[in-house]
Amino acid sequence: MAPLGAARARPPRTAPAPRRPRPRLCLLFELAAVAAWIAVIALTVTAAVHGGRPAAPASVGEAPHHHVTPSHAAHAAHAVPGPGAFGGLAMWALMCVAMMLPAALPALAHVGENSLRRRRQRAMAGFAAVYLAVWTGYGALLLALAPLWSRLPGDAPLAGALALASGWQLTARKRRALRDCHRSSPLPLSGLRALAGTGRFGLRHGGACLRSCWALMLVMAVAGGGPGMLGWMAALTGIVVAERFARTPTRAADLAAAALAAAALAVVLTPALA
């Protein structure tokens, strides 16, 4: 027995084990979104320089402006991904990568964390392909419906789309869709079951995001091309990302509804004030 007053022996200190940095699973997809933004900006600037505008779903069926000369139209045709409906759909798909892929990053990380390392990137790419296919299909639908609003006068289609988006933000269906966007899904680890599980998750997540954000992307389609398109893209991407990453997504949706209503009012009043 140790005598009283003797110093107690302390265990030797051991240095804490260094933590291994967590790999950034979604880096390639983050870079893909940045590259899509750069491509959209480059196409828009090129079209503006040549007197045209990039192809967009809203531009299908529009009558050409009287001041656009044939040479300008020829230059504009080379500034877009392709002619006609194909060019519009290609531009839409590019905008979806830029605008909607950032909102899918948490779901992509879920796929990566629940996949075997050897098939991780393949599983994430499969999820992203299905997710973006959902939005591309929506773009094809808008291409077919574009003649319905392309003949309306002035900024009436844009003001109407903004008002519709503002109202949708406040509905119960929007709230349910927003909750579904935050839900994950158990994923099998290997085999065909893993491939099917990733595809189902991509379809379910893409469907939830489409139900949540269809009205916002309708605004993007109606806004059409031109330099102003980039401003709408930035604003709508901010809304989508805020709703996905906010601690209280419903509060972000309410603030977005107010901003969209104000934008609709501004679109209506600007010509009158001018």
The alpha carbon of residue 19 and the mean position of all alpha carbons in its chain are separated, in whole angstroms, by 34
pLDDT at 215: 95
pLDDT tens per residue, range 236-258: 999 999 999 988 899 999 999 99
In a domain, 45, yes or no: yes
In a domain, 14, yes or no: no
Sequence length of the chain is: 274
What number is the average pLDDT over the span 82-106?
85
CA dihedral in degrees (120, 137, 179, 248; nearest 10)? 90
The pLDDT-based confidence of 261 (bands split at 50, 70, 90) is very high
> How many domains does the structure of the chain reveal?
1
In a domain, 2, yes or no: no
pLDDT tens per residue, range 166-183: 999 999 999 999 999 988
List, in order, residues 6 or more apart from 37 with CB less than 8 Å away: 98
The pLDDT-based confidence of 29 (bands split at 50, 70, 90) is very high
| Lookup: tokens for 259 | 């901003």
In a domain, 198, yes or no: yes
Among 77-81, 139-143, 194-198, name the most confident range: 139-143
List, in order, residues 6 or more apart from 245 with CB less than 8 Å away: 106
In a domain, 18, yes or no: no
Let me know: does 98 contact 233? Beta carbons within 8 Å.
yes
pLDDT at residue 206 is higher than 70: yes
In a domain, 123, yes or no: yes
Let me know: does 112 contact 17? Beta carbons within 8 Å.
no
pTM (two decimals):
0.78
pLDDT at residue 58 is higher than 70: no
pLDDT at residue 11 is higher than 80: no
In a domain, 22, yes or no: no
What number is the average pLDDT over the span 74-84?
40
CA distances, 210 to each of 30, 50, 124, 154 (Å): 20, 34, 19, 28
In a domain, 91, yes or no: yes
| Residue ranges making up the domain that contains 149 | 27-60+71-273
pLDDT at 98: 95
pLDDT at 75: 34
* Residue that is written with structure tokens 């591309």 in the block: 136
